[in-house]
Amino acid sequence: GAVVSQHPSRVICKSGTSVKIECRSLDFQATTMFWYRQFPKQSLMLMATSNEGSKATYEQGVEKDKFLINHASLTLSTLTVTSAHPEDSSFYICSAPRRGSTNTEAFFGQGTRLTVV
Amino acid sequence: QKEVEQNSGPLSVPEGAIASLNCTYSDRGSQSFFWYRQYSGKSPELIMFIYSNGDKEDGRFTAQLNKASQYVSLLIRDSQPSDSATYLCAVKGSGGSYIPTFGRGTSLIVHP
């Protein structure tokens, strides 16, 4: 079963509105979560690293005031796309690393397809 | 800038054949290598990881790593139409933080 749950899976919003995406780690604590964006036929691009109890770390070129990240608990990180525009339409995916006996594996959420009209 | 390169494809193979997917990386200090499968509209799922030079087999999948050549590959034996997907190579450098760099992915089509 899924170890990282992402919600919603699909959202359509009007230009200028805000959209919140949730990412939850199930059965394990994630002090760090990662948010990716993927455009059609492109690779996953890391947007930011979400840190529990502290500020997120944004990758170069990602507007922190537009993509608000909150990691208020050890199992939940949220990404809010503020004042969304059509160019923000994309597939957003969260990931949480879980330490195993031999390696640390990154588990992905189901992804959120955002369409801004 | 750390780079992970993959041929975008599509790679088309007949059912039952061996599919060979390749990936090169630029960071010589890279330690961990992962192959993910991503179906259209879905998030990636981990297929295999490999840390040491050589081959690692898991069912129909074999990962091959050559650190000297900075090359990692994934072989899929007895390919099935359900294997049709995009395969992402991910590379993690040294250090404690888990932030892999993803390749662009190779589209695989297995035709009956």
Q: Do B102 and A43 touch (CB under 8 A)?
A: yes
Which pLDDT score, from 0 to 100, does residue B31 have?
87
Distance from C-alpha of B87 to C-alpha of A5, rounded to nearest angstrom: 22
- Which residue among A34, A49, A110 sits closest to B43, beta carbon to beta carbon? A110
Which of the pair, B96 or B33, is modelled with greater confidence? B33
- Which residue among A43, A49, A111 sits closest to B43, beta carbon to beta carbon? A111
Which chain A residues touch B if contact means CB-CB below 8 Å? 6, 32, 34, 41-44, 46, 49, 91, 93, 97, 103-111, 113
Which pLDDT score, from 0 to 100, does residue A101 have?
61
> Which residue does chain B place closest to A98, by CA atoms?
B98
Which pLDDT score, from 0 to 100, does residue A34 have?
94
CB < 8 Å to A93, chain B: 43-44
> Which residue does chain A place closest to B89, by CA atoms?
A43
The B residues from 57 to 86 touching A (CB cutoff 8 Å) are none
Distance from C-alpha of A27 to C-alpha of A8, rounded to nearest angstrom: 20
Give mean pLDDT, residues B88-96: 81
Q: Report which residue type is found at A90.
A: S
Comparing C-alpha atoms, which of A22, A20, A24 is closest to residue A2? A24
Question: B95 pLDDT exceeds 80?
Answer: no
Which residues, including other chains, have CB under 8 Å from residue B5's CB and lie 6 or more apart?
B23, B24, B25, B26, B103, B104
CB < 8 Å to A104, chain B: 98
- Which residue among A44, A103, A107 sits closest to B32, beta carbon to beta carbon? A103
Q: Report which residue type is found at B109.
A: I
Which pLDDT score, from 0 to 100, does residue B4 have?
92
Tens of pLDDT, residues A50-82:
988 889 999 999 999 999 999 989 999 999 999
Q: Which residues of chain A have pLDDT under 50?
A: none
Which pLDDT score, from 0 to 100, does residue B90 have?
93
CB < 8 Å to A106, chain B: 34, 46, 98, 100
Which residues, including other chains, have CB under 8 Å from residue B68's CB and lie 6 or more apart?
B53
Q: Do A106 and B98 touch (CB under 8 A)?
A: yes
Tens of pLDDT, residues B11-40:
999 999 999 999 999 988 898 999 999 998
Give mean pLDDT, residues B43-54: 92
Question: B55 pLDDT exceeds 70?
Answer: yes
Which pLDDT score, from 0 to 100, does residue A71 have?
92
What's the Cα-to-Cα distance from A86 to each of A17, A66, A104, B107, rounded to whole Å? 11, 14, 36, 27
